[in-house]
Every structure is written in structure tokens, then in C-alpha cells.
């Protein structure tokens, strides 16, 4: 090709790749497979390498990050990025509405938007090109982070509008990216990010853009500063126009014609915010009509036409009174902070996880420290930060022990782990935790045999190993605290019933390292009997989809132990089922693949004939992955009664939707 042909080829590839990226990252409607995008991208990289003088400023290759910066230059916002006033309850919202209506003396329409928990940013475009990206800073002066924002795939490098426009939004880190980043940091012995917001901010303030490029950040735009475009009279219409220009706007915004509708929207997302794939910390309510916004104006610090409803706090300040150690069933020693009780996110908490010794050192945890804790859902709170300026000098540094608190065996660091581990197989704490795991819901699910009862049985030396559970007699139970005739009878019956569980329950209950409930399901469906699984070779195991090398190695080593063979023989003699009773992994008659092979499935609404757990187990047994939220990566949604917003989102994205009868047909079609 001559120079002109190369230029035209590069321009064509850039246009196509940017179009495909926009479809994937902004619209959630990819039109080509990933392999096709990768092929074209590699072709562009090769051409640009051969002709560096022809590289375009809006080439997707620019998103991988350039050379490190020496520092961030300051940027003064042409129009200040002001903060919003806050509302914390329904009365605050009604007071806001009263102030708005008193100031206007006319009907008002509100726009409600999710308040994304990330880093506020501004993007400036001139002559259709992305020329500046900055942080909010103090609202008047921010930092130039253009190089880092170029790495965010949902930031358009060009737009079909030549006049100057500055759009504003929130850069954030999706939950999945946050979990993977912290897993990597923990593996590398680095301090964990406390939350996705800190991770996003830390990523965008890296002086090396190549680091930002690896963090899988995203953003939503919801506002504007400089607007030299056509006079569009409402905020909602401007959001639509920004979407037309190629910007990513959060689709959950809603126009509300009364304060009652606003409160309904707030209530819904307060209850359902954890169904999202990203963090939100509230709802922003704005007057839709821009002329009304102008009429209402500003206070010294905030607009009168908007307010931010803040969800109940998930962070709180308290004091570390002690550190308690627990030994898990695999021997991992985990430190837990004992706290001065504090009310947070609807409940009083007195404990917080400290992860491991490296995390204690990184946070510089001391007994008596004043700390910030964060609660996320039903998970035990974690320590986010020590408030060192509150120290009096009486705080005591904490060092992890060198020996197991339960059996006094020396603790060790395995090569690939951060955690300290007790290697004594007869450690009483490990034995007890193993029993608690065995009877748990996802394992053998023995009703009435919870943690406290196991602790009683273990303390009285009635149960020391798994097989002892199936040797219990009612007379042994009656002397136990809070164990009457009826309770003892029911417990013995529940133990007897558990003998009939399907094989995957037993596999998971045994507590094989690296084998979770899903892996146990896969192994049971593949081998069908415990005897076949015991004889499985490493090569056979790693050939199974979703069974990795660590899992295979753990299974082989576990079943090679003499004590395991003895345990399984005892369980067989005691009548415990060793056969897979669940849905067989079956293939589609035409394709030969598992019927849900490589499919991401979302269950929503109420199912009449199946429990959610049963449906999930069937899907996973047949190659599928069940997730909690609908996205561009979802292949199928199975909707029961009152399916709600997930059903609506699936329709928007044109994702295949089944009702329960179609799932029933799939189950009936499974060969036995």
C-alpha cells in the first residue's frame, strides 16, 4: 500500500474500532464478537507501528496509557463544580420541595438520578475532540488527568459536535473490577483499597497512565458546565442529547411529576441498590426545567434547584478494644477487631475483620485506636482507616502470634499465601470449624444442627469427626442445654434425612481446599459417584471445564489421604449416599454442548414450581453461570412473577427472556 492507502486504512480501522467500542462500553449492545475486535485492533497496532506519523489522536491504541507524568497540573473550572445540599430522610425531601415550589409559584417536574459513588470529573471537547479531563478538586480548581481519562473505554475521544462543550460526571470502578484488583493486591502483599470509590480515585490519580489503563474503570455523565450548543430547555432533553453525542448516561434516571414520585424512586433504590454492578451512595433530585433552575438560583455554596438524598451511613467511627483470633477449618488464622459497639447501616456492630497480619501492619493497627469501619450489605464490617491524629500515646501495637491460639502449633506462611496457617490436622479449632461447615446450608444442610449445637457437642466430646454425627443417639442429646425431647427427636430425624443428600452436598461438606459449592456440583455431575471421584487422576480433573490446576491438585491430594478413605468408608457403612442425584449435565441434541454452556443467566421474580436455589443448581450443572444483575454480558433472563426492573432492563438490551415454563421444558429435556 502507498502512503495514502495506509492513511485511509488507518482512518477506516479507527472509525470501525471506535464504533464497536461505543456499542460495547456505552450502549451495552456489541455488534461484533470480541475476536473480531481484537483482530482489527492488532491490525491497527501493526500499521501504526510501521507508520507512526499517521497515528490519529482518537485512535483506540491511545487508551493503553502513555509515558508517566511528573505531576498533575492545576485546572481552573470555567464554571465552578459546586456541591449539592443534602437530604437524609423523607421530611428533608418534602422541605426541599416546599422551598422549590415557594420559589417558583408554579408546577415543577423533577429528574431523579442515581448518585454514583466515585470521583467527580469534567470532560471538555473542542472541535469534536476530547482535549481536557479534570477532577473536581475544590470545585473551582481541579487537576488535569486527561491522560488517565483517555484510558477509560466509555470516554469518547471524539464527538459529532464541533462547538465547545464541557460534560460532567462520575468515574467509578465496577464491583467486579474492584474485587479482582483487591485480590491481586492481597496476593502481592499490598494494602487493600477500602472501597470502589477510593480505588477509582487512586487509579485516576496515578502518574503512570498505564496503571490506570489496567484498572477497568467506567463512568456515567449527568451534567455539563460550558454549553455552547443549541439552547435545550430541560435537563432531561440535554441528557438525551448527550446520549445522542455518544456519552454514557446512566439509564436509571426518571422524570417525576410530584414529590410522592420522588420519594417512591428514593425508596425503591434504597432497598435495591445492591442489585447494581456499581456503588451508589444516594439519589440526586434536580428541577428539570432549566429556566426554573435559573429562577431559583444558588446559595453561597449550593444550587437551590437540586439536592442529594444520602443513604444511611455505611461508615462509622469507633474504637478497637481488643483483637481476637479465630482458626478456620483450613487452618487459616484470622484476626478480628473487637470494637466499642457502634450503630451503622441499621444494626449495632461490635466486630470488624482485619484480614491478616500484612493488613494490620499496613494500617498500623493498635489496641485503643480510633478507627473508621465500613459495612457492606450483610458482610462483617472491615476497618477502613486508623484516625492517627486521635492517638493519645497509650495505644498498644498489635503483633500476630507465632503459634496457633487453639493448639499451640507453630504457624506458617505458605509460599503463595499472605495468611498465617496452622498445619496441625488435629487442631481442635479446625476440627470444630470443619464440622460447622459440614452441616451448613450449602453442604449437608442438617436442620437444627447449627454452630452453637456443634460447639456443645464438640465441647462434650460427643462429636469429634464428621462420621460421629451419624452415630449420635437421642439419649446423648437430651442432657444438652436447651435440648428437649422434641428438639432431640427432630435433630436425629434431620441427621437421618441428610443421608439422602445428593453427592455434591457431601463433596462440598468435606471441605476440600479450593472446592466451593459450584465446583462440587461440577465434580458430582461429572463423576456421579464418590468412588469414581476418588479414583480421578489429575489429568482427568483438569480436562473438566472450570476445574483449574489448583482445584485438581487439591482433590487428588485430599483423596490420597488414608484418613479420608477411612472416613468415606465409615460414612458408606452409616448409610450416607455417595451418588449424584441431581440434574445430569446434558447436551443440546444439535450442538452437542451443555444446554447452558458459557451462558450468563439472571433469575428474577418469583418462581412457582422451583426454589431459586434449585433453578440455580440446574443451570450451573448444565454449564451456565448465574449472576445477580442484567448487563450487556447477560445471555438469558428467566423471569417469574413480579420480575421488575431486571426484566425491563433485559427488554431494553434485547436479551432472550424465558418464563418458568421454558425452564421446566429444559429440565424435562435433560436425559437421565
Whether 179 has a pLDDT exceeding 60, the answer reads yes
Instruction: Kindly list the strands in the beta sheet with 254-256, ordered across the sheet, starting from the edge strand earlier in the chain.
Output: 85-87, 306-310, 280-287, 110-116, 254-256
Residue 107, C-beta contacts closer than 8 angstroms, at least 6 positions apart? none
- Strands (E) located in 21-174: 74-76, 85-87, 110-116, 119-126, 129-135, 141-143, 165-172
DSSP β-bridge partners for residue 108: none
* Sign of CA pseudo-dihedral 252, 255, 258, 259: positive
Q: Are residues 176 and 298 in the same domain?
A: yes
Q: Are residues 300 and 322 in the same domain?
A: no
Q: What is the domain-level CATH number for residue 648?
A: 3.40.50.10190
Highest mean pLDDT among 233-247, 267-281, 603-617: 233-247
| Separation of alpha carbons 475 and 527, rounded Å | 39
Whether 528 has a pLDDT exceeding 80, the answer reads yes
- Answer with the one of 380, 397, 414 that is the final residue of a domain: 397
Q: What is the mean pLDDT of residues 82-87?
A: 86
Whether 652 has a pLDDT exceeding 80, the answer reads yes
Q: Are residues 452 and 533 in the same domain?
A: no
Q: Give how many domains the chain has, as a whole number.
A: 6
Residue 670's pLDDT is: 59
Distances (CA, A) of 411 to 333, 404, 424, 512: 8, 6, 9, 20
Q: What is the domain-level CATH number for residue 279?
A: 3.30.470.30
Distances (CA, A) of 276 to 176, 177, 252, 281, 600: 11, 14, 11, 12, 16
* Sign of CA pseudo-dihedral 424, 426, 431, 432: negative
Residue 620's pLDDT is: 80
Active site residues: 115
Q: What is the mean pLDDT of residues 534-540?
A: 94
Q: Are residues 519 and 637 in the same domain?
A: no
Least confident of 103-112, 242-251, 376-385, 496-505: 376-385
Q: Is residue 81 part of a domain?
A: no
Residue 520's pLDDT is: 92
Least confident of 141-145, 450-454, 523-527, 625-629: 625-629
Radius of gyration of the chain (CA): 29
Residue 671's pLDDT is: 45
Q: Are residues 162 and 284 in the same domain?
A: yes
Q: What is the mean pLDDT of residues 229-250?
A: 92
Q: Are residues 120 and 232 in the same domain?
A: yes
Residue 282's pLDDT is: 92
Residue 463's pLDDT is: 95
Q: Are residues 550 and 608 in the same domain?
A: no
pLDDT band at 413 (very low <50, low <70, confident <90, very high): confident
Q: What is the domain-level CATH number for residue 454?
A: 1.10.150.20
Q: Is residue 626 part of a domain?
A: yes
Least confident of 147-161, 346-360, 494-508, 587-601: 587-601
- Answer with the one of 495, 512, 535 that is the final residue of a domain: 495
515: region left, alpha or beta (phi > 0 left; psi from -120 to 50 alpha): beta
- What DSSP string runs through 607-650? -SSS-HHHHHHHHHHTT-EEESS--TT--EEEE-BT-THHHHHH
Mind listing the pLDDT tens digit for each residue in 193-215? 877 888 888 888 887 888 888 88
CB 438 within 8 A of CB 457: no
Mind listing the pLDDT tens digit for each residue in 419-448? 888 988 889 999 999 999 999 988 999 999
Percent of the chain with pLDDT over 70: 93
Q: Are residues 121 and 176 in the same domain?
A: yes
Q: Are residues 129 and 196 in the same domain?
A: yes
Whether 111 has a pLDDT exceeding 90, the answer reads yes
Q: Are residues 491 and 512 in the same domain?
A: no
Residue 517's pLDDT is: 86
Residue 349's pLDDT is: 86
Residue 659, C-beta contacts closer than 8 angstroms, at least 6 positions apart? 638, 639, 640
pLDDT band at 345 (very low <50, low <70, confident <90, very high): low
- Answer with the one of 495, 514, 537 that is the final residue of a domain: 495
Mind listing the pLDDT tens digit for each residue in 391-400? 999 999 998 8
pLDDT band at 591 (very low <50, low <70, confident <90, very high): very low
Residue 577's pLDDT is: 96
> Which domain, by its residues, includes 373?
315-397
Q: Are residues 153 and 277 in the same domain?
A: yes
Q: Is residue 258 part of a domain?
A: yes
Q: Is residue 94 part of a domain?
A: no
Q: Is residue 410 part of a domain?
A: no
Q: What is the domain-level CATH number for residue 372?
A: 2.40.50.140
Count Cα neighbours of 148 within 13 Å in the Cβ-side half-sphere.
Answer: 30
The pLDDT mean for the chain works out to: 87
pLDDT band at 558 (very low <50, low <70, confident <90, very high): very high
Residue 378's pLDDT is: 47
* pTM exceeding 0.75: no
HEC letters along 135-156: ECCCCCEEEECHHHHCCCCCCC
Q: Are residues 203 and 132 in the same domain?
A: yes
Mind listing the pLDDT tens digit for each residue in 43-84? 888 888 888 888 888 888 776 555 555 678 898 999 888 888
**Pairwise pLDDT comparison (452 vs 620), residue with the higher score:** 452
Cell digits of residue 407: 493448639
Percent of the chain with pLDDT over 90: 46
Q: Is residue 435 part of a domain?
A: yes
Q: Is residue 320 part of a domain?
A: yes
Q: Is residue 86 part of a domain?
A: no
| Separation of alpha carbons 203 and 216, rounded Å | 10
Whether 220 has a pLDDT exceeding 50, the answer reads yes
Q: What is the domain-level CATH number for residue 25?
A: 1.10.287.610
Q: What is the mean pLDDT of residues 180-197?
A: 80
Amino acid at each position: 500500500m502507498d502512503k495514502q492507502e495506509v492513511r485511509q486504512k488507518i482512518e477506516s480501522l479507527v472509525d470501525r474500532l471506535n464504533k464497536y467500542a461505543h456499542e460495547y462500553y456505552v450502549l451495552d449492545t456489541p455488534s461484533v464478537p470480541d475476536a473480531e475486535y481484537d483482530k482489527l485492533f492488532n491490525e491497527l497496532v501493526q500499521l501504526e507501528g510501521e507508520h507512526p506519523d499517521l497515528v490519529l489522536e482518537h485512535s483506540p491504541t491511545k487508551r493503553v496509557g502513555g509515558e508517566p507524568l511528573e505531576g498533575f497540573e492545576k485546572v481552573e473550572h470555567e464554571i465552578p463544580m459546586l456541591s449539592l445540599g443534602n437530604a437524609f430522610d423523607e421530611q428533608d425531601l418534602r422541605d426541599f420541595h416546599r422551598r422549590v415550589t415557594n420559589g417558583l409559584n408554579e408546577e415543577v417536574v423533577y429528574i431523579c438520578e442515581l448518585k454514583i459513588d466515585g470521583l467527580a470529573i469534567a470532560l471538555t471537547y473542542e472541535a469534536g475532540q476530547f482535549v481536557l479531563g479534570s477532577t473536581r478538586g475544590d470545585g473551582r480548581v481541579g487537576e488535569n488527568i486527561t491522560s488517565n481519562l483517555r484510558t477509560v473505554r466509555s470516554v469518547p475521544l471524539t464527538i459529532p459536535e464541533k462547538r465547545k462543550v464541557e460534560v460532567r460526571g462520575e468515574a467509578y470502578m465496577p464491583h467486579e473490577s474492584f474485587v479482582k484488583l483487591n485480590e491481586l493486591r492481597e496476593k502481592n502483599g499490598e494494602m487493600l483499597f477500602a472501597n470502589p470509590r477510593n480505588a477509582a480515585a487512586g487509579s485516576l490519580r496515578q502518574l503512570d497512565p498505564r496503571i490506570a489503563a489496567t484498572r477497568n474503570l467506567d463512568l456515567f455523565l449527568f451534567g455539563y458546565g460550558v454549553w455552547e450548543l443549541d439552547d435545550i430547555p430541560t435537563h432531561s432533553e440535554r441528557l438525551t442529547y448527550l446520549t445522542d453525542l455518544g456519552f454514557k448516561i446512566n439509564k436509571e434516571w426518571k422524570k417525576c411529576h410530584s414529590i410522592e414520585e420522588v420519594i417512591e424512586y428514593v425508596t425503591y433504590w434504597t432497598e435495591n441498590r445492591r442489585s447494581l454492578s456499581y456503588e451508589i451512595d444516594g439519589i440526586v433530585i434536580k428541577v428539570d426545567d432549566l429556566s426554573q433552575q435559573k429562577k431559583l438560583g444558588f446559595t453561597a455554596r449550593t444550587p437551590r434547584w437540586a439536592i442529594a438524598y444520602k443513604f444511611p451511613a455505611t461508615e462509622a467511627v469507633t474504637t478497637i478494644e481488643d483483637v481476637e483470633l479465630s482458626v478456620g477449618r483450613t487452618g487459616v488464622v484470622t484476626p478480628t477487631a473487637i470494637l466499642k459497639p457502634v450503630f451503622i447501616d441499621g444494626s449495632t456492630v461490635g466486630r470488624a475483620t482485619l484480614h491478616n497480619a500484612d493488613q494490620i501492619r499496613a494500617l498500623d493497627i493498635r489496641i485503643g485506636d480510633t478507627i473508621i469501619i465500613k459495612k457492606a450489605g450483610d458482610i462483617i464490617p472491615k476497618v477502613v482507616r486508623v484516625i492517627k491524629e486521635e492517638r493519645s500515646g497509650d495505644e498498644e501495637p498489635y503483633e500476630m502470634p507465632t503459634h496457633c491460639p487453639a493448639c499451640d502449633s507453630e504457624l506458617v506462611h505458605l509460599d503463595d499465601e499472605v495468611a498465617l496457617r496452622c498445619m496441625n490436622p488435629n487442631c481442635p479449632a479446625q476440627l470444630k470449624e470443619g464440622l460447622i461447615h459440614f452441616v451448613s446450608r450449602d453442604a449437608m444442610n442438617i436442620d437444627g444442627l447449627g454452630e452453637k449445637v456443634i460447639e456443645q457437642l464438640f465441647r462434650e466430646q460427643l462429636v469429634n469427626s464428621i462420621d460421629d454425627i451419624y452415630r449420635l443417639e437421642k439419649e446423648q442429646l437430651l442432657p444438652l442445654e436447651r435440648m428437649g425431647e422434641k428438639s432431640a427427636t427432630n435433630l436425629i430425624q434431620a441427621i437421618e434425612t441428610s443421608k439422602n443428600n445428593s453427592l455434591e452436598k457431601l463433596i462440598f461438606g468435606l471441605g476440600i481446599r479450593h472446592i466451593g459449592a459450584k465446583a462440587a456440583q461440577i465434580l458430582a455431575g461429572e463423576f456421579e459417584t464418590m468412588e469414581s471421584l476418588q479414583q480421578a487422576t489429575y489429568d482427568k480433573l483438569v480436562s473438566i471445564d472450570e476445574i483449574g490446576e489448583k482445584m485438581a491438585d487439591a482433590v487428588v491430594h485430599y483423596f490420597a489421604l488414608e484418613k479420608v478413605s477411612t472416613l468415606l468408608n465409615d460414612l458408606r457403612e452409616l448409610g450416607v449416599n455417595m451418588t449424584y442425584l441431581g440434574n445430569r449435565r446434558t447436551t443440546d441434541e444439535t450442538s452437542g454442548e451443555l444446554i447452558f454452556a458459557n451462558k450468563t443467566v439472571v433469575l428474577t421474580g418469583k418462581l412457582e414450581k422451583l426454589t431459586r436455589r434449585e433453578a440455580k443448581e440446574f443451570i450451573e450443572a448444565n454449564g451456565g453461570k448465574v449472576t445477580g444483575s442484567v448487563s450487556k454480558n447477560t445471555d438469558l433472563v428467566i423471569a417469574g412473577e413480579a420480575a421488575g426492573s431486571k426484566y425491563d432492563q433485559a427488554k431494553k438490551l434485547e436479551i432472550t427472556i424465558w418464563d418458568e415454563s421454558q425452564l421446566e421444558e429444559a429440565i424435562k429435556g435433560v436425559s437421565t
